[in-house]
Amino acid sequence: MSLSFNHFEVFQLAVSFEIDTKKLAESYRNLQRTIHPDKYANAPERERRLAMQKAAQINEAFQTLKNPLTRALYILQLQGINTNDEHHTMMDGEFLMMQMELREQLAEITQLEQLNEFLSRIEKYQHDLRNKLSQQFAEENWQQAHDSVRQFQFFNRLHEQALQLEEELI
């Protein structure tokens, strides 16, 4: 395995938003068994260093590909799309209004029942966006996928904030 492989190549997967995560995890475990630095404990320094670099690459690739959001960001990056572009802040007004309303709703939640309903709605948005992303990536509609990824990032952050609130309400 070369250190120049992209994350999909590390696991011999096609570049795709839709991947078999069970196959990914199995491939990860197999690669870790074969390349684990402990196997090279008595090897020359160069081989030990290469084993550590390969293990780090395998770990990074796995962490990136197992999560739909980081996988989507990585695919866009492979397409040369800068996903950290702070100048690209244009979002449609309807989505911006939705963001403000959802943040206000979260701020007003005082009971677990309300929070559970809110979390269910957020998880539905995430599910719908994941399906939308799958289609956009399949159609290689990179700009729309980039916009959807930015929305997906918002819903993931909002979901995390709601889970933090849940800890406070318990």
* 59 and 109 share one domain: no
* 159 and 112 share one domain: yes
125 band by pLDDT with thresholds 50, 70 and 90: very high
Q: Tell me: the pLDDT tens digits for 16-32?
A: 999 999 999 999 999 99
* 60 and 98 share one domain: no
3 band by pLDDT with thresholds 50, 70 and 90: low
130 belongs to a structural domain: yes
84 belongs to a structural domain: no
Domain end call among 48, 66, 84 = 66
* 41 and 102 share one domain: no
Q: What's residue 79's pLDDT?
A: 95
Tell me, what CATH number does 110's domain have?
Answer: 1.20.1280.20
Asked if residue 66 has pLDDT above 80, the reply is: yes
Q: Tell me: the pLDDT tens digits for 26-54?
A: 999 999 988 877 788 888 889 888 888 99
35 belongs to a structural domain: yes
72 belongs to a structural domain: no
Residue 36's domain comprises 7-66
Q: How far apart are CA 153 and CA 170, in angstroms?
A: 26
Q: Is the pTM of this model over 0.75?
A: yes
Asked if residue 141 has pLDDT above 90, the reply is: yes
Taking residue 7's Cβ as centre, other Cβ atoms within 10 Å add up to 22
* 61 and 19 share one domain: yes
88 belongs to a structural domain: no
48 belongs to a structural domain: yes
* 10-47 core/surface letters (b: 16 or more CB in 10 A; e: else): bbebeeebebeeeebeebbeebeeebebeebeeeeeee
Q: What's residue 131's pLDDT?
A: 97
Q: How far apart are CA 102 and CA 121, in angstroms?
A: 10
Tell me, what CATH number does 59's domain have?
Answer: 1.10.287.110
132 belongs to a structural domain: yes
123 band by pLDDT with thresholds 50, 70 and 90: very high
What is the tally of structural domains in the chain? 2
69 band by pLDDT with thresholds 50, 70 and 90: very high
